[in-house]
Amino acid sequence: MTDIAMIEAAAARLAGRVRRTPLLSSPFLDRIAGRRVLVKAECLQHTGSFKFRGAWSAVSALTPEVRARGVLAYSSGNHAQGVAWAAALHGVPAVIIMPADAPAVKIDNTRALGAEVVLYDRATESREAIGTAIAADRGLTLIRPYDQPQVIAGQGTTGLEIAEQAADQCVTRADVLVCCGGGGLTAGIALALAARAPGLRARPAEPAGFDDTARSLAAGQRLRNAAAAGSICDAIVTPEPGEITFPILQQLAGPGLVVTDDEAMEAMALAFARLRIVLEPGGAVALAAALFRPDQIAGDAVVAVASGGNVDAALFARALARA
Amino acid sequence: MTDIAMIEAAAARLAGRVRRTPLLSSPFLDRIAGRRVLVKAECLQHTGSFKFRGAWSAVSALTPEVRARGVLAYSSGNHAQGVAWAAALHGVPAVIIMPADAPAVKIDNTRALGAEVVLYDRATESREAIGTAIAADRGLTLIRPYDQPQVIAGQGTTGLEIAEQAADQCVTRADVLVCCGGGGLTAGIALALAARAPGLRARPAEPAGFDDTARSLAAGQRLRNAAAAGSICDAIVTPEPGEITFPILQQLAGPGLVVTDDEAMEAMALAFARLRIVLEPGGAVALAAALFRPDQIAGDAVVAVASGGNVDAALFARALARA
């Protein structure tokens, strides 16, 4: 299981490989939120999201012999790019299983990062069956998007940085809002903060209709979302909390926060104008919660993790048109 | 005159006050440029541009008695916001002289940063006359946008960071392209690099039609632009190189590079997609030169300073529509 020692070990492997992303702020955002808002800009991470941390952690933790055979991931999004690039920098093969109807630009980008992309038909084929067959045939190691201890440890390095950077800004007691899908980033940050900055508390932030983690935490058991898709925050839509991540959140995380798609878009526009960073809708959910749910947050400061910025130009322009 | 000792002293005053902005990169940009491209993201600086460095340097260098009376600046853009915020954080008054026809959002933002905005009519009034009268009456100190040694010293701290961050990425010989208006940032960086990283050479980058610095360097004397306005890169349009900055550039900077407005817009779109940062046209000129003038650059790496990100949503959406 992931613990602080595993996160610290991941941080040592990641040193010089991941970016120490800045903790940004703006007096204009503080005014909206009614308290100081510190934004951890993981959209500036390699491949545009925090996923590179977990991917690097998992790939670098393999024995050289196992790693040399290569890795495999299922993803049409940020995890795919993180795994592809971590493998490329290690000089080992990566196979990414993607739906044939994924946006062409995502397929092209994943290939351009050095991965072999295997397409499957969502309607008639099982990605698990295809992946399992390829992995067995070629001896590839599966890198899961969240339910894997070394992946959670890599995401947890974000929490180590937040603990230090928030203290540098004299913030030692605050909620740390985290865009939450399967819970790998939230769980990793929760573990890091509990050990290194106990006055900071991780809380998941989710889009309305896909608030499985908030509801599960309230119910004390894992609950599924009613729908499988339908939010513009696609990067953080998962069917239910992870098997490994959920017990960590139950133990360490505060209550979940939920925002609408519209509020996520509004937060994108504000991040553009006030922080000059690019966020995707799923990466703006925590900032939206920090800005638009003041009554559900205590204290005179809040930290929001801006988890990713892989958004196409047309959708981003729609968010700007609201500003 | 500004020298490395003055820049180091400015860096000490700026420590903990300015952001150490990241040096970003993307394999996709490297591929376009045909060499490694490292982007110093000063758009992530407080107030959205490097101008905060020079403003903080100048305000913090005043004696407490002089500073307490307040400061004054003429600007409708990034310098105004930098001076306003540096003064606000020092707890001293700032008066900013702005044209009455400046965009309302810029006037509002400058006021929101705590400054007193004095509007004048460009057609019938002289901002110098108004500013001189107010300054004399209230004992305010003028903070110039570039032709002032402590301002140049503050901008030079960008160069100290580039020297360290480039070395961390094993880049010790390269051209450092800098978006250039009056030359304060370029001169400051040139001084810092000459002292701390002599294998790195500052070179100005300018928009076509407003390449006064490139032409002046080639001619060996200060030349004016034919037009006073007419580029979307308005943040870096000045009539001619500065009186103080130009001799520094003559001594230390390499030849200038010139790009079109269209190329600046293209660089904005690429910075959006590949670095997830927001650039204004004038802040994208150096990146455009790094990407689109490969034949005028030597070596296997290039550094581009992304100097600012204060752009309105409509113009940014136009840049994205090109992508």
pLDDT band at B50 (very low <50, low <70, confident <90, very high): very high
Asked if B318 reaches chain A (Cβ–Cβ under 8 Å), the answer is no
Inform me whether the pLDDT recorded for B127 exceeds 90. Answer: no
Give, for B95, the enclosing helix (H) or strand (E): strand B94-99
Interface A-B, measured as beta-carbon pairs within 8 A, has a size of: 78
Contact between A33 and A279 under an 8 Å Cβ cutoff? The reply is no
Distance from CA of A14 to the nearest CA of B (A): 15
- Residue B320: list chain A partners with CB under 8 A: 313-314, 316-317
- Residue B31: list chain A partners with CB under 8 A: 112
Q: How far apart, in Å, are the Cα atoms of A244 and each of A111, A215, A266, B40, B121?
A: 30, 17, 33, 39, 65
The answer to whether the CB atoms of B269 and A313 lie below 8 A apart is: yes
Q: Classify B74 as helix, strand or coil.
A: strand
- Distance (Å, rounded) from C-alpha A24 to C-alpha B276? 14
Q: Is the ipTM of this complex over 0.90?
A: yes
pLDDT score for A249: 98
Looking up tokens 């959205």, which residue turns up?
A: B48
Computed from CA positions of residues B152, B222, B197, B42, in that sequence, does the dihedral angle turn out positive or negative? positive
pLDDT score for B241: 96
Exposed / middle / buried, residue B230 (Cβ in 10 Å: 0-12, 13-18, 19+):
middle
pLDDT score for B76: 75
The answer to whether the CB atoms of B316 and A272 lie below 8 A apart is: yes
Nearest C-alpha in A relative to B279: A276
Nearest C-alpha in B relative to A17: B169
- Distance (Å, rounded) from C-alpha A218 to C-alpha A204? 12
Domains and their CATH numbers in chain A? 4-50+148-321 (3.40.50.1100), 52-142 (3.40.50.1100)
Q: Give me the residues of B, 179-238, that contact A with CB < 8 A.
A: none
* Mean pLDDT, range B301-323, rounded to an integer: 94
- Distance (Å, rounded) from C-alpha B191 to C-alpha B194? 5
- Distance (Å, rounded) from C-alpha B89 to C-alpha B21? 19
Nearest by CB to residue B313, choosing from A16, A27, A320, is A320
Nearest C-alpha in A relative to B280: A276
Asked if B78 reaches chain A (Cβ–Cβ under 8 Å), the answer is no
Regions in chain A scoring below 50 on pLDDT: none
Contact between B6 and B54 under an 8 Å Cβ cutoff? The reply is no
* Mean pLDDT, range B214-235, rounded to an integer: 92
- Residue A111: list chain B partners with CB under 8 A: none
The answer to whether the CB atoms of B44 and A275 lie below 8 A apart is: yes
Q: Give me the residues of B, 256-295, that contact A with CB < 8 A.
A: 269, 272-273, 275-279
- Residue A278: list chain B partners with CB under 8 A: 272, 276-278
Distance from CA of B56 to the nearest CA of A (A): 17
Distance from CA of A6 to the nearest CA of B (A): 26
pLDDT score for A101: 85
Give, for A94, the enclosing helix (H) or strand (E): strand A94-99
The answer to whether the CB atoms of B24 and A44 lie below 8 A apart is: yes
Most B-contacting residue of A276, A277, A311, A315 (CB-CB within 10 A), to test interface: A276
Determine the distance from the C-alpha atom of residue B149 to the mean position of all C-alpha atoms in its chain, rounded to a whole number: 15
Asked if B27 reaches chain A (Cβ–Cβ under 8 Å), the answer is yes
- Residue A48: list chain B partners with CB under 8 A: 276
Nearest C-alpha in A relative to B318: A317
pLDDT score for A77: 87
The answer to whether the CB atoms of A19 and B22 lie below 8 A apart is: yes
Nearest C-alpha in B relative to A21: B22
Distance from CA of B81 to the nearest CA of A (A): 12
Distance from CA of A20 to the nearest CA of B (A): 8
Asked if B317 reaches chain A (Cβ–Cβ under 8 Å), the answer is yes
Asked if A24 reaches chain B (Cβ–Cβ under 8 Å), the answer is yes
Distance from CA of B48 to the nearest CA of A (A): 7
The answer to whether the CB atoms of A22 and B22 lie below 8 A apart is: yes
Q: Classify A210 as helix, strand or coil.
A: coil
Return the ∠ at Cα B49 (arms to B47 and B53), rounded to 5°.
85
pLDDT score for B323: 64
- Residue B317: list chain A partners with CB under 8 A: 317, 320-321
pLDDT band at B318 (very low <50, low <70, confident <90, very high): very high
The answer to whether the CB atoms of B320 and A317 lie below 8 A apart is: yes
Q: Classify B304 as helix, strand or coil.
A: strand
- Distance (Å, rounded) from C-alpha B149 to C-alpha B157? 13
Distance from CA of B113 to the nearest CA of A (A): 8
The mean of the pLDDT values for chain B is: 96
Nearest C-alpha in B relative to A114: B27
User: Shortest CA distance to B271 belongs to which of B223, B311, B224, B214?
Assistant: B311
Nearest by CB to residue B277, choosing from A112, A277, A321, is A277
C-alpha atoms less than 13 angstroms from C-alpha of A179 in its C-beta half-sphere: 33
pLDDT band at B322 (very low <50, low <70, confident <90, very high): confident
Exposed / middle / buried, residue B169 (Cβ in 10 Å: 0-12, 13-18, 19+):
middle
- pLDDT tens, residue by residue, B251-283: 999 999 999 999 999 999 999 999 999 999 999
Nearest by CB to residue A278, choosing from B16, B272, B321, is B272
pLDDT score for B230: 85
Nearest by CB to residue A320, choosing from B31, B113, B316, is B316
pLDDT band at B234 (very low <50, low <70, confident <90, very high): confident
